[in-house]
Homo-oligomer: A and B are copies of this chain.
């Protein structure tokens, strides 16, 4: 199995595990912090908009929204001008997580890149960006 794909895949699993336990501390499941981040950025977004922002399909957002609304992180409301649209609105509980969750995420990033020199970190971002671009074009 090719070097880079293999290493990237292993790294993904590790980061996934770390993010999972970090977010569980705030009562969230993996990925729900991203959905919240979209609403912190623009409260009242539609599932489609959020899906596009998260690079995920709409059904995924719909399912997550259902669960998150069940635990009181957000509410669903139809748009008053266009009834096809649904808008997701943060509850106080959802808003309250912004500070802690963003701090948690920054902390994780720091811990995980702690062993990199400033130069290595820069090179990593450049190279990974190229891979991301190449991959996106192929998709």
Contacts and interface: CB of A to CB of B under 8 A. Distances in A.
Secondary structure type dominating chain A contacts: helix
A106 to B, nearest CB: 6
20 contacts: A2-B108, A3-B109, A4-B113, A5-B112, A7-B128, A7-B132, A8-B15, A11-B131, A18-B138, A111-B134, A112-B134, A112-B135, A114-B134, A115-B133, A116-B130, A116-B131, A120-B130, A123-B123, A127-B127, A128-B128
- State the copy count for this chain: 2
Interface of A: 1-5, 7-15, 17-19, 34, 37, 55-56, 102, 105-106, 108-109, 111-116, 120-121, 123-136, 138-139
